Amino acid sequence: ITLFKSLTRSSDSMGQVFVAEIVLSIKPVCMRTGELIVEEGDLCDELSFITKGTVVFSRKMDGRDDQVYTGSAMKGEYFGDYEYEKKCTSVFQTIATTVVTMCCILAIDFRRISMRFPSVQKMID
């Protein structure tokens, strides 16, 4: 996972222990092209790290019935962090535009692990 690569290379053993605990808590997920990953308004209870493929984000704007494209994420990027920080429901609909593989971790597990490593948390914030 790109976000944590610098932690595994650092001389800080706490960073390496943090990454090991994260890796033990993630689950692999594979989505097909066109598959809905997150619906706007869903409870966001996990962070997703993309290891292959691309997703697009869209949302309803100003009472429109159709979705408006707002961005994308691809291999090496992640999503769910905004909702994780704000502790809110999803503000976007997320759809796989290709076959997508992700490593997902429940937000509660990420929070629990992060709280045990405050120095590492500062590095990734």
Model confidence at 83: pLDDT above 80: no
Give the pLDDT band of residue 111 (cuts 50, 70, 90): confident
Task: Report the CATH number at residue 62.
Answer: 2.60.120.10
Is the Cα dihedral 8, 53, 85, 28 positive or negative?
Answer: negative
37 or 3: which leads in pLDDT: 37
**Per-residue pLDDT averaged across 107-122, rounded?**
83
Q: List the beta strands (DSSP E) in 33-98.
A: 36-38, 46-52, 54-60, 67-74, 78-79, 93-96
pLDDT-above-70 percentage for the chain: 86
Cα 8-10-15 angle, rounded to 5 deg: 60
Instruction: For residue 2, give both structure tokens.
Output: 């790109």
Quote the number of domains for the chain. Answer: 1
Q: Report d(CA 98, CA 4) in Å as an integer.
A: 24
Residue 90 near residue 40, CB atoms below 8 Å: yes
At residue 55, the pLDDT reads 98
The residue range of the domain holding 19 is 2-124
- The predicted-structure confidence for 38-80, as pLDDT tens digits, reads as follows 998 898 889 999 999 999 999 988 777 788 889 999 999 999 8
